[in-house]
Amino acid sequence: MQRALLILGFVLLGLLAVLWATGGFAALQTWVLAGQREVQSTLADAVRQIKRGQPGAFLALLSVCFTYGVLHAAGPGHGKVVISGYGMGRRVPLLSLSLISFGASMAQAAVAVAFVYAGVAVLGWTRERAHGVADQIMAPVGTLAICGVGLWLMWRGLRGLQRQFAVKAHDAHHHGDDPHVHDEHCGHAHGPSVADMDRLTSWRDVAVLIIGIALRPCTGALFLLILTWQLGIGASGVAGAFAMGLGTALVTISVAVLSVWSREGALASLPAQTVARALPWFEMIAGGLVVVIALTMFSQVL
Amino acid sequence: MIGKGVLIGAAIALTGASPASAHPHIFIDTQIAISFNAAGLADGVRLSWAYDDLTSLQMIADRGFDADFDGVLTDAEADALSGFDMHWDAGYEGDTYVFVGDTPVLLQGPSDWGATYANDVVTSVHTRRFTTPVAVADLPLVVRVYDPSLYSGYFIVGEPTLMGSSHCTAEIRKPDLVAANKLFEAALAQMSGDVENDYPALGSAYAEEVRITCNAPS
């Protein structure tokens, strides 16, 4: 049963929440922490091996960077907030959202490379200066961009609701208070239909999401890029930054799958006619959550 | 409001409201030695900080040391390295906190420092003398190592050493992560945007510590 499968997505998410609430994540956290240290050590090892010209070192660096990307993205992160917010809020197809996640991760790596080579290589910044600019300028700007994505989702949800109310007023005028006719009319003619929603993934949406995510550089990538540049093995660092991006993409794509799954699960549990009416609410609430989380991050980066 | 439930559940699961903070970027293996004076009072703590090898590599690269990359510093480089992490900014407390029971013990600034680079790891040592030596009797002496901001994570390694005392024992205590996470969430809920003031309690909640107890000499 497709519907049962969809609702399972919702149940899965509930279980995650319970696990989190009961402290079940503490064990996971210890594991991630140990993993993080392990990865840092392996990363240092790979960089040293490249520097010492040992064979196989480049592949070792790519693989550890990929792992680093996965581990790092598995913690709290802004990319997941944006992707899950958008995935919950809009009826975006799974493939589109996955491609956006992938594109955003690659763009984020490209921004890190451009930032480090413009700052450190061209302008001669020290490592501290580069991290300072990243933390004090790039991070707040990136967070504001994410906040903007949230506001934009809320605004669109609000507009969707406005349209519904306009339609309702229109229907009330024509049909008096017969609820059955009213519902049918709303669902079939004037209300934003599910098909309408599906078509709304425009290039503008894609650009906003990718920029929103990519502007906030990943500290790990900056770190690696600067270190490898200092050691005179910059090309390996650039390749490593993109390998980290691939790792991050794996996680954000999983988040995209989860958010689409749970959104469809929740929608599947609603009667068919109310789906179209529920969507703007989803968008509003998801947008609101993105804004709240972005503002929390903002207070932390300032 | 199924939708709302889903969204909140997702927000929790995906953004991991669980501690962002328990995520140090610098891992420091810490060895602790407590010294006792002739009167049997604890009078200082000696710390050894071994930086994780990525941080060590970065420190060496930042300074342009070890150009031939053979893992050995020149004498001049070794001299220059010594004390690199001992010139503290005003307000930095040194990430070492000592208590008798719950009462803080005042520490002097760092002394007797040095640093080495071996096996791709930078290790620095220093001593913090207690402003006033303290008796360890009914209440244990507690040495907690943490960065309030959690940027650096201090992990106690090896057996703590007790210098000049034969009737004391040391025990390493790890943080209770579940309790620490609860504190973190409580702090998050109260957060007014004034993160500066909310953070210190958190670093301490995730701190490892050495607890020294002494039997009265017979």
Cβ of A270 under 8 Å from any chain B Cβ? yes
**B64: alpha, beta or left, given left = phi > 0 and alpha = psi -120 to 50?**
left
Q: Which two tokens stand for residue B198?
A: 């909310």
Which of A 112-171 lie inside 8 A of B, CB atoms? 126-127
Determine the pLDDT at residue B160. Answer: 96
Q: Tell me the pLDDT tens digit for each residue of B96-117.
A: 999 999 999 999 999 999 999 9
ipTM of the complex: 0.73
Question: Which residue does chain A place closest to B196, by CA atoms?
Answer: A300
Contacts of A20 in chain B (CB under 8 A): 12-13, 17-18
Helix, strand or coil, per DSSP, at residue B20: coil
Determine the pLDDT at residue A90. Answer: 77
SS3 content of chain A, % helix, strand, coil (to 5): 85, 0, 15
Cβ of A40 under 8 Å from any chain B Cβ? yes
Cβ of B152 under 8 Å from any chain A Cβ? no
Determine the pLDDT at residue A106. Answer: 94
Please say if the pLDDT value at position B67 is more than 90: no
Cβ of B182 under 8 Å from any chain A Cβ? yes
Determine the pLDDT at residue A178. Answer: 46
According to DSSP, the β-strands at B103-105 and B26-36 are unpaired
Cβ of A73 under 8 Å from any chain B Cβ? no
Q: Do B69 and A52 touch (CB under 8 A)?
A: yes
Nearest to B62 among A230, A266, A269 (CB): A230
Average pLDDT, chain B: 84
Q: Tell me the pLDDT tens digit for each residue of B20-52.
A: 434 678 999 999 999 999 999 999 999 999 999
According to DSSP, the β-strands at B152-156 and B26-36 are parallel
Cβ of A286 under 8 Å from any chain B Cβ? yes
Determine the pLDDT at residue A134. Answer: 84
Which residues on neighbouring strands pair with residue B51, listed in sequence order? B28
Q: Which two tokens stand for residue A89?
A: 């809020």
CA dist A89 and A83 (Å) reads: 10
Which of B 18-37 lie inside 8 A of A, CB atoms? 18-20, 22-25, 27
Please say if the pLDDT value at position B162 is more than 70: yes
Determine the pLDDT at residue B163. Answer: 93
Q: Would you give the distance in Å from CA A182 to the centre of its chain?
A: 38
Q: How many residues does chain A have?
A: 302
Helix, strand or coil, per DSSP, at residue B64: coil
CA dist A223 and A134 (Å) reads: 11
- Per-residue model confidence as pLDDT tens for chain A (302 residues): 556 666 666 666 666 666 555 555 556 666 666 777 888 888 999 999 999 988 889 999 999 999 888 877 766 567 777 888 877 777 788 888 888 889 999 999 999 999 999 988 888 888 888 888 888 888 788 888 888 888 888 888 888 888 877 776 665 555 544 444 444 443 344 444 544 444 555 777 788 888 888 887 788 899 899 999 999 999 999 999 999 999 989 988 888 888 888 888 777 777 777 777 777 887 888 888 888 877 776 666 55
Model confidence, pTM: 0.71
